[in-house]
Structure 1
Amino acid sequence: MSTWSQAGPRTVSEHAAAVAALLPPTGTEPVALAAASGRVLAEDLTAGVALPPFDNSAMDGYAVRAAELAGASAAAPVELPVAADVPAGRTDVPALAPGTVARIMTGAPVPEGADAIVPVEQTDARPGGGLDRVRIHEAPQPGAFVRRAGEDAAAGAVVLRAGTVLAAPQIGLAAAVGRAELPVRRRPHVLVLSTGSELVAPGGTLAPGQIYESNGTMLAVAVREAGATAEQLSFVPDDVERFRAVLAERVGDGVDLVLTSGGVSAGAYEVVKDAMTGHGVEFGKVAMQPGGPQGCGRLELGGTGVATVTLPGNPVSSQVSFEVFVRPALRAAAGHPAPARPVVTARLSGALSSPAGRRQFRRGLLDAAAGTVSEVGSTGSHLIAALARADCLIDLPADATSVADGEQVAVWLLDAP
């Protein structure tokens, strides 16, 4: 008998802490920018070049010396010769001689000697066209429409902090400072395994007493959505020796977590429990519904210990348990700054009852505009269709036996990171 079972049910928080402790922070690996979306930056990123790297034009127009255009107006335009063309990408930009202007494009380097840009709309030139001379009918201020070198970021400055979750803007910034790849936290790798002699792969033919296997696919997708990688093993029959053999063949370097569903209750054919008891994994109850039967520990197989979490087999129990225990642990191990689902409060639409001493996670639909949440389906842990319609979990405290219509409740948002 395990010490957990002897001690009685764990609270949700206690079991969440036990699962999290199994998954230490992952290491670092370099990835190309195109593959960095959703990853967590492992080290501070410094700018290899200033942003912008040189003074450049914010407009199509003319690079000028502002003092030479003092008093220019529509009634009294100033006419000057156009000494050069400066398109974006030109590397041999000549200095601007006094008494001249240079036609310039957006993003092009500002010539030495120029201190302002006059937009083409403030001249008699046509956009895209050129003149040997140009009449300017507005007086610019020094610095007008000039993007100064380093005004966005100085060379050597930290532009992204370690722990940043990378998305398009951050990856664009990394490219802008010259980085072709980034050091990111490695994704945890999870081995997902479902058990049960009654299970048949989707698409097969069901015999009497059989059901299609859904937990493995559901959990593998959930693992990937959490930012980890998943390898789904074909379910094995309710056979302890075969189950151990399958694990021993696969578990080794590169597997951070073994995640199973089914076979953890108090029945006569609980293969997961029978195979792992005495081998580093403890089983017991968590004071929650759905998902009371749970297990976790470091499974010892041939001298190798691997983090293992065992979830109940009913689909709703399995998925809710993943949300409560496994998902935040995986995200924390990968360095996510906010591993838990966002939680909001909403007014309950319709009264709910709850068993004393068990924290309940009810499937719900949130009406954000009205600030209300309603239950989807009922408490049955087999009602996967109701789970599929839900966009949140209604979190009812363990000491609540009833919640009145209109009462405020905590709501976990399932459609948010």
Structure 2
Amino acid sequence: MFVDKVRVFVKGGDGGNGMVAFRREKYEPRGGPAGGDGGRGGDVIFRVDEGLRTLMDFRYQKHFKAKKGENGRSKSQHGKNADPLVVRVPPGTVVKVADTDEVICDLTRHGQEAVIARGGRGGRGNIRFSSPKNPAPHVAENGEPGEELWVDLELKLLADVGLIGYPSVGKSTLLSTVSHAKPKTGAYPFTTIHPNLGVVEVEEGRSFVMADLPGLIEGAHEGVGLGHQFLRHVERTRVLVHVVDMSGSEGRDPYQDWVNINKELTMYRESLSRRPQVVAANKMDLPGAKENLKQFKESVGEEIPVYPVSAATREGLRELLFAVADLLDSIPDEVFAEETEEERKVYRSREPEEAFTIRKENEKFVVEGDRVEKLVKMTNFQYDESVARFSHILKEMGVEDALRAKGAKVGDTVRIGDMEFDFQE
């Protein structure tokens, strides 16, 4: 089964907790702090594997969580960092944030990697909080939570040549004739509902990868029919072979078919209108094809190369394949790379951490914000000094004053994340 779009959950590993410990060596019963830091949580990394051609595996595993870092230990020993979780994806995978459609990365080359969810840093042990004023602190941090998010994976096939055209014009038959691919064929529209790939070998030792793509119809750029599922894969092809039913066996005008499909390509992405294209005038073995071909050539002009072929009888296929191979050889890789450079950049914008917001929920005051919620998770509340540090940081952030401005009084309940406490001056 071909799968080209899935949604999965990824989570970086939490950092290990820092430790409160003290030296208890001979002759030093009251030694200084010796609690080590926790190890860093593992990252979730997507890596391209050229042996994969589909996102099928992600239908059965949708959650990917990296391991937590090791907790800090006594004798100032730091916890071990967790190994990253490496997830294999096929070349041509675009990773987007599910909620916003923000592109995280576009993975195209074998071995290319991108960090999708970063692991949290390890919590600091009490050796980090030692100072002349407090040489033996009972303070340690919990590990930082790892990043977590839902992402959409979209596969855009990497092929040299893409077969485009209306349903039932003979694209699948053409691919099966010129390669060893065995796509499903049938005398009804949308026989092909998933892309098929085949390696085409031309004389002189040349070869290229050809993709048979699901048929287009009017409105495809808006998602009509197989719309976006098809057009997503056209973006990666270097040359387009536009297959036209020159016999008009489906009751349509061949020239109007050609116009409509090119219009859909342009409306979906303007750069596709500049993609090199040749026309495979198919079904030349059927009645009326020769008359239609003459009129078609007059309408499209001499700039568009038109090759009369019959996928059923193999007529004209040799000339078509040589022309496509020559066209591929004439296009420098740099041209295609420049055209899609912006699409292939690997980046991840990061919003600045918001301070906090306060709202009232029934009789409780709810404080929300990435920084304050992370502070709660990283505070070890079993130590009084950690609690005091937590209160001090909230005060420095202005949370105490903001609560008072919202009407909070001594004894009122305040909730931050999963923790509730009474408001105190």
User: Normalized against structure 1, the TM-score is what?
Assistant: 0.27
Q: Which of the pair is proportionally richer in strand?
A: 1
Q: Which of the pair is proportionally richer in helix?
A: 2
User: Normalized against structure 2, the TM-score is what?
Assistant: 0.27
